[in-house]
Chain A
Amino acid sequence: MMRGPRAADLALAPAAEERPRTRHTYGFRYLLRRFARNRLALVGLWVVMLIIVFAVFASWIAPYSPIKPDFVNLLKPPDTGHLMGTDDLGRDVLSRVIFGTRTSLLAGVISVGIAVMAGLPLGLVSGYYRGRLDDLLMRITDAMLSFPFLVLALTIAAVLGAGLDRAMIAIGIVFMPAFIRLSRGQVLSEREQNYVEAARALGAGDGRIIWKHILPNIISPVLVQASLATAAAITAEAALSFLGLGTQPPTPSWGSMLNFAQAYLSTAPWMAIYPGLAIFITVLALNLLGDGLREALDPRLR
């Protein structure tokens, strides 16, 4: 499916596909080919896939239980038995980092999922029909975007109560306006295109035009935004858990691991180093992936 950046492939590609006349000929395969030429983005993709493998097979990969305390091995520095050392309850840091991938990926995917599922339809309808609803929605999103996003997420999470599920809802709500604005802006330009008029002339209803004709044409920028938002959502969940509002102990979460590590910074720095490194690598990989997708979509950015 996805081909590497081999010169032969590129030379054989028909000219029309290489240099599309309009935006609309940017097919998904064209996007993938451009993406595959970006080496950093590919690295990001591989790392993300590796992290997914870690999350899915955590119980097989992790050498120890991430939750069961081991009072014989408290605060042990990294060695061959415990590659990343142990924490204040004797738990293996590596195992907790591996299980932490589950929490982080879940938080990233679910909260962005909430934001897209709520934001995309609102943006589509708002941009397609314009009018009062659009005005109202734009003022509300203006207002929501006036809050620093972490402050708003923190407040919503606090109101809903501590816990991973509620943190995900809070982050999802805070990310929603960005998706409303993005999809609305895209619809505004698409609805004036000839193909929409053609569909209407053929008797297609509004619902059909929006879902069958406009949506496929605006989905690429939404996907790019979603991949970048996933990175931000993972950081946000870690931040909330770090402040004590997200994932609750003993569930392994990189953010809450860092929170508890603060007290042992001088005696057991490994407790802080590895969970943070895990967040950094995951978020960086997702950002590389998202940037790669964005550049593939809009070549002027290179």
Chain B
Amino acid sequence: MTLILNDVLAIHWAIAGAAIAAITLVLLFVSNRRLGISTGFEDVCSLVLDAEYFRRASVLSGRGWRLPFLVGLVLGGVVSAVLGGGWSPTWALGMFDQRIGWGPAGKVAWMFGGGLLIGFGTRMAGGCTSGHGIFGLSNLELPSLVSTVSFMVAGLVTTNLIYRVIV
């Protein structure tokens, strides 16, 4: 199957999974850090918000590696586009365009609302797909199993409601 990005063919899942495992293990072995991305939202918040929560030791000590990692994620996207047919700003959103068909203003509202749930929910859960789903499950942690099952089931219900019931 091809990606929305320039119709590039997706790499095989086994290669992608192995690459993610390798990066996760290098991060642990080289720099003693457990993979986790959603705490990076707190790191960014801690730069501008003065609430006690954002002055915790774990936020202040994690900022040094997580913020450059987040910048790297953006760069990875840029490189992927440049090497895969060229970089250009786009509003293309695949089956959302075909089935729901909202323009830019609707997409911004939709994405902002979903983003709020992602930011609030991941921080309440103490992790996201990377911290719970990959690292936590791999390290056999019960909270990660609870969270992973919760977000997978909730996503399943939501997408099926949107694409099999509503539209």
A and B interact physically: no
**A contact set with B: CB distance below 8 Å:** none
**B contact set with A: CB distance below 8 Å:** none
